Amino acid sequence: MKLNKKHQKAIHMLFEGSLKRREIAEELKVSEQTLYNWLKDEDFTKAYDEYVQQIMGKSSGKALNTMLKLMNARSEMVRFNAAKDILDRGGYAPVTKQEVTNIQTPVFEDDIGDEDG
């Protein structure tokens, strides 16, 4: 499928998410079935995915700045979640839990004695 202006407009409208598919079809003056057929088309879905990636790329800096600002929020939980999200996305996820076995109680040796002074 070669994408035309209606396809591009449909992609933008679908991404915005403010209209139902029926409303998008009406706006584009196509049938709802036509819109559904586009959504099944590999070229259309690929163009949609590329559009989403483009928008995400443009928005990532602003999103990171928002998360950094949230690290100064009053709420401890908001600060925690912002820090955790930044670390997780940066590849600093916590390590998996390790099971500890064969724990031996330490033995303390009294080598000081009972000297009083």
Q: Are 6 and 28 in contact (CB under 8 A)?
A: yes
Distances (CA, A) of 5 to 9, 18, 48, 86: 6, 20, 13, 38
pLDDT tens digits, one per residue of 60-108? 889 989 999 999 999 999 999 999 999 988 888 777 777 777 888 888 8
Write out 2-58 in H/E/C secondary structure: CCCHHHHHHHHHHHHCCCCHHHHHHHHCCCHHHHHHHHHCHHHHHHHHHHHHHHHHH
Average pLDDT over every residue of 17-26: 96
Average pLDDT over every residue of 8-31: 96
Q: Are 70 and 63 in contact (CB under 8 A)?
A: no
- What is the model's pLDDT at position 110? 75
pLDDT tens digits, one per residue of 31-41? 999 999 999 99
pLDDT band at 114 (very low <50, low <70, confident <90, very high): low
